[in-house]
Amino acid sequence: MLGRAAARLPANRNVKWGLGSNLWNYFPRVPFTDMLDVMRDTGFIGLRLTQFPQILKTYDLTAARMQTEASRRGCRIVTISFNGPLHDPSRRSEMIANAKAAMNFLKEFGSRHLVVFSPSRSNGTGEAAFRAMCAGCDEIGRAAGEMGFHAGLHNHMGQMVQNPDEVDRAMALTDRKLFYFAPDTAHLHLAGCDTAQTLEKHKDRLMLADYKDARRPRNARPDTFDRNSIYDLGDGEIDFAGCHRVLKSIAFQGWLIVDLDIARQGPRVSYERCGSYVVERLEPIYA
């Protein structure tokens, strides 16, 4: 029985699978090691940290202890969700310092990717704010390159890079030699993108991606996000087979993060279901 269960785990060869720590914020607090145990048991062996650096205080951890516990289970810390005032040139130095602190932390784990979220749409979507944001992205990208990292843009509902045209503009206005793309499939879909086509369009800058399933809600207000729109892989509307064919076409070797915002039967059940979908539906296309 244990042998059969192990055989069903994602292979983690070319495509390596991870999850996000934010899901556990929606459940009663458990030890950080419980999260790592779910990762080990379901084959999602990489972790994207959120709420850094506060997460260390939340779980009463040091970086060394986090590394020890993750390594003991064959897991890795992959990246951090980084937020900063990209649109505000007056705070550029502060933002770069914070990004460097995040990357210095990740360096201790052998990680080399920084996922960069755009600011809230409340900060403006006009041309000046958008161009300032893109300039901020390039500055982070330049700092990342100097540290041996790649930094990439993460799209999200309710943020300055949300809609299909905004994704394309952000890619056009940032330097392809400095700044990359770390898309979220669910938020692409909810914003009206054809997810597989978007990955195809920007595949030469694909650094890392969130594989998250979603269903477009009826009568949803524009620019809003309801985590109930997120589903386990295979339960939503996204063409992951098409996305996976894009990855195969570029011989992608990197991390896909199934960063669920909701787990209707708890994290372990959701990641077991997602793992089965990966093994049965996606690995035959590209593993």
* Residue 280 within any structural domain of the chain: no
**What pLDDT score was predicted for residue 2?**
36
Q: CA dist 37 to 40, 140, 257, Å? A: 5, 33, 17
**What pLDDT score was predicted for residue 3?**
37
Q: What is the pLDDT of residues 218-235, one digit of tens each?
A: 877 767 899 999 999 999
**What pLDDT score was predicted for residue 6?**
42
**What pLDDT score was predicted for residue 7?**
55
**What pLDDT score was predicted for residue 9?**
96
Q: How many domains does the chain have?
A: 1
* Residue 77 within any structural domain of the chain: yes
* Residue 205 within any structural domain of the chain: yes
* Residue 243 within any structural domain of the chain: yes
Q: Low-confidence residues of the chain, pLDDT below 70?
A: 1-7, 222
Write out the DSSP string of the chain. Answer: -HHHHHHTS---SSEEEEEEGGGGGGS----HHHHHHHHHHHT--EEEE-STTHHHHHTT--HHHHHHHHHHTT-EEEEEEEE--TT-GGGHHHHHHHHHHHHHHHHTTT--EEEEEPPBGGG--SHHHHHHHHHHHHHHHHHHHHTT-EEEEE--TTBSS-SHHHHHHHHHHS-TTT-EE--BHHHHHHTT--HHHHHHHTGGGB--EE--EE-PPTTPPTT---GGGEESTTSSS--HHHHHHHHHHTT--EEEEE--S--TT-HHHHHHHHHHHIIIIITTT--
Can you list the pairs that 239-242 forms with residues at least 24 positions away whose Cβ atoms lie under 8 Å?
239/195, 239/196, 240/185, 240/211, 240/213, 240/281, 240/282, 241/281, 241/282, 241/285, 242/195, 242/196
* Residue 50 within any structural domain of the chain: yes
- The crossing angle, in degrees rounded to 10, of helices 127-146 and 92-107 is 40
Which residues touch 150 (CB under 8 Å, ≥6 apart)? 112, 113, 114, 144, 180, 207
- Expressed as residue numbers, the domain containing 132 is 13-265
* Residue 285 within any structural domain of the chain: no
* Residue 1 within any structural domain of the chain: no
Q: Residue 139's closest CA among 104, 190, 99?
A: 99
Q: What CATH number is attached to the domain comprising 193?
A: 3.20.20.150
